[in-house]
Amino acid sequence: MRKTIMILAVAAASMAVMGQTLEECQQAAEHNYPLIRQYDLIGKTTELTVANIQKGWLPQVSASAQASYQSDVASWPGQMTTMMQNMGISMKGLAKDQYRVGIDVSQTIYDGGAISNQKQIALQQGVVEEAQTEVNLYSVRKRVNEMYFAILMLDEQIVLNHDLQELLAGNERKLQAMVKGGTAARSDWQNVKAERLNAVQQATSLESQKRMLMTMLSTFCGIEVKEVQKPMAATISQHTKQRPELRMFDAQLRLADAREQALKSALMPRLSVFAQGFYGYPGLNMFEDMTSHSWSMNAIIGARLTWNIGALYTRKNDKAKLQMQRDMTELNREVFLFNNRLEQIQQNEEIARYRKLMADDEEIISLRSAVRKASESKLSHGIIDANDLVREINQENAARVQQSIHEIEMLKQIYDNKFTTNN
């Protein structure tokens, strides 16, 4: 058991030393980014919307109460009223004040597919929103790339700066000994020492920039990033996989199709059954209400068929608008693919350029190193002064810095290309 724990501890320690990979930082950033919570919100909102639409099949119940006073009401002709009074029948007629308290119940039997189409539209709108969220989250990778490779660049410069300090320190010690021996001027020693202190200041600035970027990357990823690993030079792909933007365009087209189906259902008839019940005066038996001004219970049941042909008035324009939306989506797709292809061309050219530059970097460094070593020898023999040596040291260091810049920039272009092609 102890052996297993020790192995795991060693493995964890080695991972901490190796640092996080680019892929690990990208995944952590996507899960840490606040926008990730929008997926759950979209899902829950869509679920509630669909549930509300589905309730359209439930009986629709409404309650009402009404009191009114009319300027005139239905009544018997005067001759008939006189005749009935002679027969001993009191015919008061309807009262001008009327009252009703009732409930209406309606149940949809057939809606022409309206509820089903509304449900499909709501579901597809949720898919479009999720696709847009995925597009926004995908862009997080690009931001991680920028910080990650900036840190790698600083790491390379810090290492080279450390080598420069050691090289200057070695020459500083030699010159100090030569000054004591009287074979070199004190100003030469001071010149090299000042250059070493300048390199120390540069190291302080580089370390500060790295700490800032590491803090930013850690905050962005939601994990403590202590070190980063230099990624391998991946293979360049010439084909673009399904980018989130393309899936979003597809979802928008399917939403337009769902809305067109809703236009068709708007032309279909609706069939429903209904029931009405009310307590009030007058009721359905008008003759009885003319003789007695008393409230009564009343009910009606039936079936209703409605066919609203008003949708025909705007159908042509509505279909034209949907087609314009499709055309706009296809145009956006073409623009995206066009720009995406331009990005690939630019990145491939940059990668090729850096590879050509790197092919000469080693030879340039070798030559600069040889010139610097010769200058050190010349200085020890008094042929040149410290200014010449410092210049050759700086030129050698600049060549090494250029080599590291070319390598890191090439790697960045490669992984930017992976982002562009989604490979």
Q: Where are the alpha helices (DSSP H) in 57-185?
A: 78-86, 114-181
Q: Which two tokens stand for residue 200?
A: 């120390």
pLDDT tens-digit profile of 320-369? 999 999 999 999 999 999 999 999 999 999 999 999 999 999 999 999 99
- Does the pLDDT of residue 169 top 70, yes or no? yes
- pLDDT confidence of 313, banded at 50, 70, 90? confident
User: Which residue type is seen at 143?
Assistant: R
Q: Is the peptide bond before 244 cis (omega within 30 degrees of 0)?
A: no
Q: What angle do CA 397, 399, 404 make, to 5 degrees?
A: 95
The predicted model gives 57-81 an average pLDDT of 84
- Does the pLDDT of residue 105 top 60, yes or no? yes
pLDDT at position 240, please? 67
User: Which residue type is seen at 311?
Assistant: A
Residue corresponding to tokens 């042909």: 309
pLDDT at position 237, please? 66
How far apart (Å, rounded) are the C-alpha atoms in residues 258 and 42? 19
How far apart (Å, rounded) are the C-alpha atoms in residues 377 and 359? 29
pLDDT at position 17, please? 47
- Does the pLDDT of residue 144 top 70, yes or no? yes
pLDDT at position 7, please? 36
pLDDT tens-digit profile of 180-233? 888 888 998 999 999 999 999 999 999 999 999 999 999 999 999 999 999 888
How far apart (Å, rounded) are the C-alpha atoms in residues 347 and 341? 10
pLDDT at position 118, please? 92
How far apart (Å, rounded) are the C-alpha atoms in residues 183 and 420? 61
What does the DSSP assignment read for 81-116? HHHHHHTT-------SEEEEEEEEEEEEEE-TTHHH
On average, the pLDDT of the chain sits at: 88
How far apart (Å, rounded) are the C-alpha atoms in residues 192 and 170? 10
Q: Indicate whether this model's pTM tops 0.85.
A: no
